[in-house]
Amino acid sequence: MTRPTPVIYDCDPGIDDAIALLGAFVSPELDIRAITPVCGNQPLDRTLRNALQICELGGRDDIPVHAGCHRPLCREPIHGQFHGATGLGNTVLPAPRKQAEATGAIACLADHLGRAARGEGDRITLCCLGPLTNIAMALRMYPEIAGGIERIVMMGGAFREPGNRTLTSEFNMLADPHAAQIVFAAGLPMTVLGLDATHQVMLRPEHVTQFAQSSGRIARTVAELMAFWDRNDAARYGSRGGPLHDPLVTAWMLRPDLFESRPARVFVETESPLCLGQTVADWYGKTGGAQNARIVTRVDAAGVIDLYVGLMSRYRERGAA
Ligand code: RIB
Ligand code: CA
């Protein structure tokens, strides 16, 4: 096996963030150096608590968690609508014993990425599951860290799909459009899993049963989280269930062969009241600038579901009913 890929998960747990993290926790292909929660689906105090609880649920107390930004860079905070009051649906997890690290997310990113940029450490892949506030802030405070980023693999944006929070805009981009524009303009290697990709993978009730039967000691919690995720809106999504947004980031890291992508130059709308947070793709070089992202256009949905059933079954193999 090749060396595990050094990654940092920047996230706003969040039910789908939780599933993405639980999949990553049991993947030896990923060397998770840190988790950096951000204000998004929930205020930071809650996304931080949820991240600590998910680490304990997944048996990964070893992963340092560094609290990120309390608010977006400019706009007023908005929060998720489909994650329940706590951000983890109806699931009640024990109060976390695990503590957040004393240093915050920006210092953590500056340390890991700065060392990599100076050739003193591994370049890091940033797996971004929420608004890009932490990443943008780190790039603004320490521009030299860009040299330590191997790639950004992010869930966010909507290109040929309509938005899921407004007519045009996907939640992570809308929640901090200025941060998103800073990151897209940074000239970093980026793989973008937008709604065009995530709406191809619906987590349906029959899948929830499969996951519950396969995930051993965390089966009940996984089933609860996934059942809460059901939008029950077949008219909109074409089936029961919920779109598997953030878990596609972990799936891409593990099985990029399940995905097809196309290069483009991506811009983020930061002014328009009607279209704030809209991601606009220049697929054909009309704007003259360099392409700054690969946008995922096709997903092997069955392959992703099978991948996650296999990942969750590793929790059964790790013992305890
Ligand atoms: O639009 C989907 C994204 O918004 C996901 O990351 C979900 O967790 C929410 O943050
Ligand atoms: Ca998220």
Q: Residues whose CB is under 5 A from ligand 2 (ion)? A: 12, 14, 17, 129-130, 246
Catalytic residue check, 70:
no
Identify the band that residue 38 occupies on the pLDDT scale cut at 50, 70 and 90.
Answer: very high
Q: What is the pLDDT of residue 321?
A: 40
Buried b (16+ CB within 10 A) or exposed e, 43-81: ebebbbbbbbbbbbbbbbeebbbbbbbeebbebebbbbe
For residue 16, give the ligand 1 atom closest to its CA.
8
* Among candidate residues 1, 20, 40, the one with its CA nearest the CA of residue 9: 20
Q: Worst-scoring range by mean pLDDT, 28-37, 164-173, 209-218, 273-282?
A: 209-218
For residue 165, give the ligand 1 atom closest to its CA.
1
Q: What is the pLDDT of residue 230?
A: 87
Q: What is the pLDDT of residue 87?
A: 93
Tell me how far the alpha carbon of residue 38 lies from the centroid of ligand 2, in angstroms: 9
Identify the band that residue 317 occupies on the pLDDT scale cut at 50, 70 and 90.
Answer: confident
Q: What is the pLDDT of residue 239?
A: 87
Decide if pLDDT at 318 tops 80: no
Q: What is the pLDDT of residue 319?
A: 58
Q: Select from 172, 173, 200 the residue to mutate for testing ligand 1; criterion: most ligand atoms less than 8 Å from CB.
A: 172
**Tens of pLDDT along 72-111?**
999 999 999 888 899 999 999 999 999 999 999 999 999 9
Q: Are 274 and 299 in contact (CB under 8 A)?
A: no
Tokens standing for residue 195 = 């709604």
CATH of 5-318, one of 3.40.630.30, 3.90.245.10, 3.20.20.70, 3.30.420.40: 3.90.245.10
Decide if pLDDT at 1 tops 70: no
For residue 155, give the ligand 1 atom closest to its CA.
6
Mean pLDDT of 28-34: 98
Tell me how far the alpha carbon of residue 45 lies from the centroid of ligand 1, in angstroms: 17
The amino acid sitting at 84 is G
Decide if pLDDT at 71 tops 80: yes
Q: What is the pLDDT of residue 18?
A: 98
